[in-house]
Amino acid sequence: MNIHTTSTSTLERVPAELRKWLSVPRPMLINGKWVQAKSGKVFDVIDPATEMHLATVAEGDAADIDEAVRAARNALDNGPWGRMSPSARGRIVHKIGDLILKYLDELAQLESLDNGKPFAVARVADVPLSADIFHYMSGWATKLEGKHIPISNLVSPGQYLSFTRLEPVGVVGQIIPWNFPLLMAAWKLAPALATGCTVVLKVAEETPLSGLRLGEILQEAGVPDGVVNIVPGFGETAGAALASHPGVAKVAFTGSTDVGRLIVQAASRDLRKVSLELGGKSPNIILDDADIEAAIAGSTAGIFFNHGQCCNAGSRLFVQEKVFDKVVSGIAANAAKIKLGVGMDAATEMGPMVSDVQHGRVKGYLKCGLEEGARAVTGGSAPDGKGYFVNPTVLVDTKPDMKVVREEIFGPVLVAIPFKEVDEKLIATANDTIYGLAAGVWSRDIAKANQLANALKAGSVWVNCYHVFDAALPFGGYKQSGWGREMGQAVLSNYLEAKAITSRIA
Ligand code: ADP
pLDDT in tens, 211-228: 999 999 999 999 999 999
Distance, CA 7 to ligand 1 centroid (Å)? Answer: 30
Does 256 contact ligand 1 (Cβ within 6 A)? yes
Query: Could you give all domains of the chain from N- to C-terminal order, each with its CATH number?
Result: 8-278+483-499 (3.40.605.10), 283-470 (3.40.309.10)
Write the pLDDT tens digit of every residue in 271-318.
999 999 999 999 999 999 999 999 999 999 999 999 999 999 999 999
Stretch 99-105: mean pLDDT: 98
Instruction: Using pLDDT thresholds of 50, 70 and 90, give the confidence band for residue 1.
Output: very low
Whether residue 417 has pLDDT greater than 50: yes
Distance, CA 23 to ligand 1 centroid (Å)? Answer: 26
Q: What pLDDT does 191 receive? A: 98
Stretch 135-141: mean pLDDT: 98
Instruction: Using pLDDT thresholds of 50, 70 and 90, give the confidence band for residue 3.
Output: low
Q: What pLDDT does 289 receive? A: 98
pTM check: above 0.75:
yes
Stretch 449-455: mean pLDDT: 98
Distance, CA 255 to ligand 1 centroid (Å)? Answer: 6
Write the pLDDT tens digit of every residue in 52-70.
999 999 999 999 999 999 9
Q: Indicate the top mutation candidate among 115, 209, 259 to test ligand 1's pocket, ranked by most ligand atoms within 8 A of CB.
A: 259
Distance, CA 177 to ligand 1 centroid (Å)? Answer: 7
Distance, CA 208 to ligand 1 centroid (Å)? Answer: 13
- Name which residue sits closest to atom 11 of ligand 1, judged by CA: 177
Atom of ligand 1 nearest to the CA of 202: 14
Distance, CA 506 to ligand 1 centroid (Å)? Answer: 55
Task: Assess whether 424 carries a catalytic annotation.
Answer: no
Whether residue 474 has pLDDT greater than 90: yes
Amino acid at 481: S
Q: Indicate the top mutation candidate among 175, 231, 244, 251 to test ligand 1's pocket, ranked by most ligand atoms within 8 A of CB.
A: 175
In contact, 114 and 67? CB cutoff 8 Å: no
Does 356 contact ligand 1 (Cβ within 6 A)? no
DSSP single-letter state for residue 223: P
In degrees, rounded to 5, the angle at the alpha carbon of residue 101 between the alpha carbons of residues 99 and 105 is 115
- The C-alpha atoms of residue 251 and residue 243 are separated, in whole angstroms, by 6
Q: What pLDDT does 128 receive? A: 98
Among candidates 419, 379, 380, 378, which has minimal Cα distance to 284?
A: 419
Does 262 contact ligand 1 (Cβ within 6 A)? yes
Does 332 contact ligand 1 (Cβ within 6 A)? no
In contact, 172 and 197? CB cutoff 8 Å: yes
Stretch 455-478: mean pLDDT: 98
Task: Assess whether 145 carries a catalytic annotation.
Answer: no
Average pLDDT, the chain: 97
Q: Which of 277, 310, 408, 486 is catalytic?
A: 277
Stretch 115-126: mean pLDDT: 98
Compute the CA torsion angle 261, 262, 264, 270 (nearest 10 deg): 160
- The C-alpha atoms of residue 225 and residue 216 are separated, in whole angstroms, by 11
Atom of ligand 1 nearest to the CA of 179: 3
Does 239 contact ligand 1 (Cβ within 6 A)? yes
Does 202 contact ligand 1 (Cβ within 6 A)? yes
397 Ramachandran zone, left/alpha/beta (phi>0; psi -120 to 50): left
- The C-alpha atoms of residue 225 and residue 16 are separated, in whole angstroms, by 29
In degrees, rounded to 5, the angle at the alpha carbon of residue 193 between the alpha carbons of residues 191 and 198 is 120
Q: Which of 197, 311, 408, 486 is catalytic?
A: 311
- The C-alpha atoms of residue 106 and residue 119 are separated, in whole angstroms, by 10
Instruction: Using pLDDT thresholds of 50, 70 and 90, give the confidence band for residue 76.
Output: very high
